[in-house]
Amino acid sequence: MGHEYGCFWGNELYNYSDTKVPIIDHIFYENDVICISSKPGVGKSILAKQLMFHLTTGTAFLDTYEISKPRNVLYIQTEGDRAETIERIGHMKMGLNIDDSRWVHINQDGIVMNTQVGINKLVKLAERPGMDYDVIIIDPLYTTVKGTLSNDEVATDWVRNCRKLKGHFGASVIVLHHDAKDQFYEGKNVSREDDNIFGSVYWSAFFNHNFKLKLKDGYYHLQRGKQRSGKIVDCLDMGLIEPKPLMFVNVDDELDANMAKVKKMLGLKESLRARDLQKKIGVSIATIYRVINKLMGNKVVRRVEVDGDKYYELVHK
């Protein structure tokens, strides 16, 4: 195994055997920096805290997206108050498990990550508990920036220091971000693409992929925007239970019908990949993963790996 950072030549040019290891299967991978954005008040902070619950315990997110092992999490909060955070976590504990020995909460009224003084202060603060972090959550972006988000120099300074932060701890990073207010032209709302991240183009260039959390007709949709790997789920449809317990759950209105379709397809073929099933059935890849997970839990379907690809087949033909 080679190193991530350095200067490489000769025999060292290709001495690197690391592969992208999933932290949350089909959502978040080791060494990634991802962005989750939404309009204010939609629920991205609740979502980030729920991810922390699953990460610290190594339990599947939404009972679908596998987490291979428990992870240590640093939660950096620069908006809202600590009392509200503790209250929300208490409500979430009524429906979810968390390992309190595996996470650290940094709560500040502002952290300036795009200056050397600011990033050095943050690193020293994060070092105090003596924990090796696997995941760092920054909630939200704008309160960690001195200057305007649209300024290219501000963005590039922040990006360099975020790379320094993640490199220092060997962590992957989740950044929460507020979407800009709606824009109107001739009285009509101008919709933005899902890969649009407000501010300098360098924010979007830095993130491995981004999601937008949207609320429509009472359901929450975590919609993928830009991605680099081709492995990221397209859209997660969720409901929100509140206030006690407080947690996102899967939306399974059509689960039984899609389970029947998946079983039929697997009955006709020896084995298929998730994306093969998606093309044949015509639903989102997130729905396919949810169906497969349910069928595997019922011992109807099993997973096999061939040359690094995951295939699914019926347990009993």
Share of the chain above pLDDT 70, in %: 90
pLDDT tens for 163-182 read 999 999 999 999 999 886 54
Residue type, 123: V
Q: Which of 113, 131, 114 is nearest to 122 (CA)?
A: 113
What's the mean per-residue pLDDT of the chain?
87
Note whether 58 and 235 are within 8 A (CB): no
Q: Taking 70 as the threshold, does the pLDDT of residue 183 lie above it?
A: no
Q: What is the pLDDT of residue 284?
A: 83
Instruction: At 216, list the tokens.
Output: 């429509």
Q: Taking 50 as the threshold, does the pLDDT of residue 185 lie above it?
A: no
**Other beta carbons within 10 Å of 268:** 8
Q: What is the pLDDT of residue 287?
A: 85
Q: Which of 5, 3, 77, 61 is nearest to 28 (CA)?
A: 61
Mean pLDDT confidence for 64-86: 93
More confident site: 278 or 17 = 278
**Cα(47)–Cα(62) distance, rounded to whole angstroms?**
11
Mean pLDDT confidence for 99-108: 96
pLDDT tens for 225-261 read 877 667 888 899 998 988 888 999 888 766 777 888 8
Q: Which of 138, 105, 135 is nearest to 32 (CA)?
A: 135
What domains lie within the chain, and their CATH numbers? 10-250 (3.40.50.300), 255-314 (1.10.10.10)
Q: Taking 80 as the threshold, does the pLDDT of residue 184 lie above it?
A: no
Secondary structure of residue 80 in the 3-state scheme: coil
More confident site: 202 or 132 = 132
C-alpha separations of 141 from 13, 26, 56, 112, 176 in Å = 35, 24, 23, 10, 6
Radius of gyration of the chain (CA): 21
**Other beta carbons within 10 Å of 124:** 9
Q: Taking 80 as the threshold, does the pLDDT of residue 195 lie above it?
A: no
Type and span of the H or E element at 34 = strand 33-38
Q: Which of 292, 284, 173 is nearest to 236 (CA)?
A: 284
Q: What is the pLDDT of residue 299?
A: 85
- pLDDT-derived band at 218 (thresholds 50, 70, 90) equals confident
Note whether 144 and 138 are within 8 A (CB): yes
Contacts of 277 (CB under 8 A, 6+ apart): 262, 265, 266, 288, 292, 312
Q: Taking 60 as the threshold, does the pLDDT of residue 192 lie above it?
A: no
- pLDDT-derived band at 72 (thresholds 50, 70, 90) equals very high
Q: What is the pLDDT of residue 65?
A: 92
Contacts of 130 (CB under 8 A, 6+ apart): none
Tell the residue number behind the tokens 């508990």, with chain if given: 129
Q: What is the pLDDT of residue 290?
A: 86
- pLDDT-derived band at 189 (thresholds 50, 70, 90) equals very low
Q: Taking 60 as the threshold, does the pLDDT of residue 313 lie above it?
A: yes
